[in-house]
């Protein structure tokens, strides 16, 4: 089986190179790949990559993910998150390829406290969420075989993410203020990649499994509790951190350029039921990420 992967250097993309490699030949591209265009700024370029490689499975792990910066670069965010996935989906439809794409809790408005289900109306609060939703819709309208996984609070030992930021700050400061009223589930890129490989195999076997799924680790936490857990895990692993206080603050006291949802809870029962998997508690993946970050001192 030939698998075309866009975004091999991202958090999820890096793990997918590993998890997809047991399924077949993986053509893994970054934005600067030379043999084939992997740059989502060029919808026609990435579409031509699909034509040239004619893969059985396409996975898009690259995206415009800079949530605050997207507010001042809406056109670029739309090209990467809407136009290129749409162009890839049209080619997937012509070749009969299965297209796998990742989306986000940020397509929802975060109201209430109930976990969102896949049939809930999306109502994004920011440019990133709007452009990701437009990408989801374009894929669904293209007529290809598709899987879309909406996930939340992704972390890994690579790229920019919350555990890295907290460990870096905890080495520098005695106290930290962390938002306590946004609730979600930190999800490891490793879990997403492994679950994706499993879902691809099952969907190729039974295309009725195509569809939209919420996919994140189980349990829930706030950014504040998450920060405490990160520091405690690092201490348990024998690392000394000068930070002694992690203060809870409301989002209103910590304004960001892009508005973020307060309730990022995602109900994953459809994914678990369809693919016969159980999703581990969020702490499991975070402990592995912290361990890796500390071993390589890469924060
Ligand atoms: N991070 C989160 O908390 C989170 C939460 C929910 C959903 N998601 C979704 O999960 C997916 C994976 O996210 P992630 O956290 O793994 O992303 P990430 O680590 O931020 O990586 C994004 C990748 O996109 C690539 N990229 C940026 N500009 C590009 C361009 N013009 N053309 C091609 N590639 C480009 C970069 O690749 P190069 O290095 O090759 O430039 C980068 O490696 C995305 O769809 C994201 O929307 C993420």
Ordered by where they begin, the domains of the chain are 2-161+186-218+265-279 (3.40.50.720)
Q: How confident is the model at residue 179 (pLDDT cuts 50, 70, 90)?
A: very high
Distance of CA 260 to the CA centre of its chain: 16
User: How far is residue 252's CA from residue 230's CA, in Å, rounded to a whole number?
Assistant: 23
* Contact in structure between 149 and 215 (CB atoms under 8 Å): yes
pTM of the model: 0.96
Tokens for 165, please give them. Answer: 């930021």
* Average pLDDT of the segment spanning 136-148: 97
Out of 37-46, 51-60, 184-193, 237-246, least confident range: 237-246
* Average pLDDT of the segment spanning 240-263: 92
Is the pLDDT confidence value at 299 over 90?
Answer: no
pLDDT given for residue 101 in this prediction:
98
pLDDT given for residue 254 in this prediction:
84
pLDDT given for residue 153 in this prediction:
98
* Average pLDDT of the segment spanning 170-186: 95
Residue 4, CA distances (Å) to 8, 18, 36, 51 in order = 10, 13, 11, 11
Among residues 121, 147, 127, the alpha carbon closest in space to that of 259 is found at: 127
* Average pLDDT of the segment spanning 204-211: 98
Is the pLDDT confidence value at 298 over 80?
Answer: no
pLDDT given for residue 297 in this prediction:
78
pLDDT given for residue 296 in this prediction:
85
Q: How confident is the model at residue 262 (pLDDT cuts 50, 70, 90)?
A: very high
Is the pLDDT confidence value at 151 over 90?
Answer: yes
DSSP state of 206: -
Burial (CB count <10 Å: 0-12, 13-18, 19+), residue 167: buried
Q: What is the mean pLDDT of the chain?
A: 96
Q: To test the ligand 1 pocket, which listed residue (33, 43, 45, 63) has its Cβ within 8 A of the most ligand atoms?
A: 63
Residue 128 annotated in active site: yes
* Contact in structure between 192 and 60 (CB atoms under 8 Å): no
pLDDT given for residue 242 in this prediction:
86
User: How far is residue 21's CA from residue 66's CA, in Å, rounded to a whole number?
Assistant: 28
pLDDT given for residue 260 in this prediction:
96
List, chain by chain if needed, residues with CB within 6 Å of any ligand 1 atom: 7, 9-13, 30-31, 38-41, 61-63, 65, 80, 102, 104, 132, 151-154, 159, 189
* Average pLDDT of the segment spanning 242-262: 92
Catalytic residue (one of 64, 128, 213, 226): 128
| pLDDT above 70 coverage of the chain, percent | 100
User: How far is residue 57's CA from residue 144's CA, in Å, rounded to a whole number?
Assistant: 11
299 C-alpha to ligand 1 centroid (Å): 19
pLDDT given for residue 204 in this prediction:
98
Residue 196, CA distances (Å) to 18, 84, 99, 184, 256 in order = 12, 21, 11, 20, 32
């Amino acid at each position: 089986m030939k698998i075309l992967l866009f975004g091999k250097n991202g958090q999820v993309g890096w793990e997918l190179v590993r998890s997809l490699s047991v399924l077949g030949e993986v053509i893994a591209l970054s934005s600067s790949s030379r043999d084939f265009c992997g740059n989502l700024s060029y919808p026609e370029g990435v579409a031509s990559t699909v034509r040239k490689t004619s893969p059985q499975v396409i996975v898009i792990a690259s995206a415009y993910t800079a949530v605050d910066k997207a507010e001042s670069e809406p056109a670029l965010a739309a090209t990467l998150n809407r136009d290129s996935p749409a162009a890839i989906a049209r080619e997937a439809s012509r070749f009969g390829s299965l297209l796998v794409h990742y989306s986000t809790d940020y397509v929802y408005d975060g109201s209430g406290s109930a976990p969102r289900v896949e049939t809930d109306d999306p109502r994004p609060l920011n440019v990133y969420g709007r452009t990701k939703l437009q990408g989801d819709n374009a894929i669904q309208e293209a007529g290809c075989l598709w899987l879309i996984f909406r996930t939340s609070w992704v972390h890994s030992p690579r790229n920019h993410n919350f555990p890295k930021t907290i460990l870096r700050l905890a080495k520098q400061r005695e106290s930290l203020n962390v938002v306590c009223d946004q609730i979600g589930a930190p999800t490891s890129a490793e879990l997403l990649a492994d679950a994706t490989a499993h879902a691809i195999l099952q969907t190729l076997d039974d295309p009725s499994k195509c569809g939209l799924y919420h996919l994140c680790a189980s349990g829930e936490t706030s950014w504040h509790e998450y920060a405490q857990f990160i520091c405690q895990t690092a201490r348990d692993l024998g690392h000394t951190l000068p930070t002694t206080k992690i203060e809870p603050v409301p989002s209103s006291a910590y304004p960001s350029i892009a508005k973020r949802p307060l309730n990022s809870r995602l109900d994953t029962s459809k994914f678990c039921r369809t693919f016969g998997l159980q999703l581990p508690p969020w702490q499991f993946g975070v402990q592995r990420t912290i361990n890796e970050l500390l071993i390589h001192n890469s924060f």
